[in-house]
Structure 1
Amino acid sequence: MTDFDSGERQIWAGRGAAYADSYARLCAYPVPRLLDAVHVRPGTRVLDVGTGPGTVAAAAGARGARVTAVDAEPSMVELAAQAAPAADVRVAVLPELPFSDGEFDAVVANFVLNHVGRPKAALTELRRVLRPNGRIALTIWAAPPAPGQALLGRAIQAAGAVRPPDMPAGLAPEDDFSRDESGMTGLMAAAGLREAVCETLRWDHHADAAEWWRGPAAGVATGGRIVQSQTPEVRAEIKYHFDLLSAEFADERGLLALPHAALLGLARR
């Protein structure tokens, strides 16, 4: 396990409910596209990796698929088991999965590669459990981030907040890749997948400012970990700038229209 992986385990420990109450709706946007991309239909053996609160698992089950779902965080697994009661839901951590070679017809990983320290090794493992000619579809956040995704980071920077010294800054150079379409297809090809293609999904996520702040306030994800690690005075300063910057995205009803961009990659074994 890399330092990045260890940091991710700390960031997400016990955060299942807080994530479900904040960023889960945002991350659900690509789910229909992911399931369409891997041709999920009745009887398809689907592995949902990094299931979170079970959004993908539940949607695949509604299509009649035979669903297995895993996540590294037990609080997420508990929520996913409730959301998709017919699925086989368990704790498992990339890049080592407790499944046989070629066990699944389709593998879906929604915003998972953002959270692993060795993305190529993770994809190689997903290829292993996929049957020959099976399909894999995955999403990651694009970089540089779209304006809506960058909002919290701008507020943190404006407040002069300091990143916790025990939080890894990012992937090791030899494990990193460009978060663009060519970087995604190159990573999939390097992991032994074929017919790799990628497109950029763009959408506006609509939420009120209070909902959008709930995730950081509860310590969800990297930004939330940074927020929670500050003194009360700095946290208040972050919130001040967050509210100030949020006005850039407010519509006539006061709701935020937050532009986001993600990469959707598709390949075969």
Structure 2
Amino acid sequence: MSGWNGVGAAYAASYADLCAGTTQVIVQALGAGAQRTLLDVGSGTGSLAAKLAEDGWVVTGCEPEPTMRSISSMRHPNVPVICGTLPSLAFADGAFDCVTANFVLNHVNDPRRSAAEMLRVTTAGGIVIATTWTATPSLFWVSVCERAGLGPATGECLPADKDFERSCAGFGRMLQQSGWQDLTVSETHWTWHANAEVLWSSVTGGVAGAGAFFLSLDERDRRQFQLAFDELCNERVVDGTIALEHSAAVATGHAG
């Protein structure tokens, strides 16, 4: 799905920290790499890939957005990152011992086909891990839009035949339909403590659905949006940050 072109720097300064909320859960689920191979699909600015490399995995990042790849290569030069995206990966069948996708299947145009493609490039019996939001960053921006009297910043929606229920049960059903075996899905919760400057940089930088929505507004509506944003932040700020509760479904399975 669209909405991420050219946003690498803005993402690195904002949502990269938020999306790292699942890193420890993924690391624990995988265990030590012992020089096994791993593909991180939709690797973004490379923080998860770098952490897994530290744990002994031989990691390859795969990311379609050039500004993301540029930051990843600069920050983590020892982790190679190539251009590629689901649902068509340029790797042979069974090329990796493990494939991960952190907050990726919620952005692709065909989640089931993409989840099946993760299996294709995983060796038989290898591990696949994916995450998706169950309480999303958009909830904060919906509140801003409601206060500003603007349409909600919810981003694009998939057609009904492609979409899946954004819950642990719904994520699990979609992955089972895609062929994932020995599937377990759990929910993890965390609080993202972000200051107003970080949050504002994400929308002005065009990050995710809220950023794309903000950039689509005319000058008058942008002013309304900013006034509502400032009011909401002033109400919620504690010790310089706004505490935003998030949760995600974390799915672990195996390739057949």
Which band: TM-score by shorter chain? over 0.9
Indicate whether 1:192 and 2:179 are aligned: yes
| Helix, strand or coil at the partner of 1:68 | strand
Aligned partner of 1:256 in structure 2 is: 242
Q: Do the aligned residues in 2 keep the contact of 1:94 with 1:116 (CA within 8 Å)?
A: yes
Alignment of structure 1 residues 1-269 onto 2, 5 Å? 5=1, 8=2, 11-142=3-134, 145=135, 149-162=138-151, 169-251=156-238, 253-269=239-255
- CA drift of 1:163 comes to 7.3
One-letter amino acid of the counterpart of residue 43, structure 1: Q
Structure 2 residue ranges without an equivalent (≥5): none
Paired with 1:105 and 1:182, the residues of 2 have a C-alpha distance of 26
- CA drift of 1:40 comes to 4.1
One-letter amino acid of the counterpart of residue 159, structure 1: A
Q: Do the aligned residues in 1 keep the contact of 2:155 with 2:208 (CA within 8 Å)?
A: no
| Helix, strand or coil at the partner of 1:219 | coil
Runs of 4 or more above 4 Å deviation? none
Percent identity between matched residues is: 32
Q: Do the aligned residues in 1 keep the contact of 2:41 with 2:85 (CA within 8 Å)?
A: no
> After superposition, what is the alpha-carbon deviation per residue over 1:16-70, rounded to whole angstroms, capped at 9, x for unaligned?
1111011111111111211221234230201000000001111111112111111
- CA drift of 1:139 comes to 1.1
Paired with 2:163 and 2:39, the residues of 1 have a C-alpha distance of 25
TM-score, normalising length from structure 1?
Answer: 0.89
> After superposition, what is the alpha-carbon deviation per residue over 1:79-113, rounded to whole angstroms, capped at 9, x for unaligned?
12223322231110210001111111111111101
Q: Do the aligned residues in 1 keep the contact of 2:138 with 2:209 (CA within 8 Å)?
A: no
- CA drift of 1:138 comes to 1.2
- CA drift of 1:121 comes to 0.3
Q: Do the aligned residues in 2 keep the contact of 1:196 with 1:267 (CA within 8 Å)?
A: yes
One-letter amino acid of the counterpart of residue 6, structure 2: G
Q: Do the aligned residues in 2 keep the contact of 1:151 with 1:245 (CA within 8 Å)?
A: no
TM-score, normalising length from structure 2?
Answer: 0.94
- CA drift of 1:128 comes to 0.4
Distance 1:168 1:22, change over 3 A: closer
* Superposition RMSD in Å: 1.9
How many residues matched? 255
- CA drift of 1:245 comes to 2.0
